[in-house]
Amino acid sequence: MAKLSPLMAAPPLIFAGLAVMFYVGMQRQDPDALPSALIGKQAPAVSAVPLGDLPAFADADLRDGRLHLVNFWASWCAPCRVEHPNLEALAAEGVQIFGVNYKDKPGNALEFLAELGNPYAAVGADDAGRMALEWGVYGVPETYVIDGEGRIVLRFAGPITQRVITDQIRPAIEAAKAASQD
């Protein structure tokens, strides 16, 4: 009887391990959702600088008892252009949105807002990307729902579409409002 070499057993064991890993990964609720360790925790400090002469926001603005969205965007970002009308619609409904311009040239960012409109109650620039790094931003656009106490309720990576507003943003806003009434 031939002796089984450890090298001969390795490929089937590696295959079985990968198969288990893929199976477990496919069982996630939303395979497109990027995890965030910050959900339910205080939002990291705001470290953005003013963008032109637009109103700026500070850390205290996120903890003023009101619900906010924080949207990371850039003029060079095509999906940011796609989501922009939806952000304007949310702002028109009274949702306060703070914009963080990510690794962009100030002139380009200001032209972007002049062309498409400014849905932001206040805007800051994150030239070096340090604030985005602290917030765990993977790329732009990325939006956070922040409750009145400054806790992150939802993180959404990608452009805000009508479907995202209906399925994720509005439910997160309503849950944050309900939690603040308890």
Domain locations along the chain: 34-181
Topology (CATH level 3) of domain 34-181: Glutaredoxin (3.40.30)
Give me the pLDDT at residue 1, please. 55
Confidence band for 170, pLDDT divided at 50, 70 and 90:
very high
pLDDT-based confidence at residue 6 (cuts at 50, 70, 90) = low
What is this structure's pTM? 0.80
Mean pLDDT in residue range 8-34: 61
- Cβ-contact 149, 63 below 8 angstroms: yes
Pairing of strands 142-146, 122-126: unpaired
The Cα–Cα gap between 36 and 135 comes to: 9
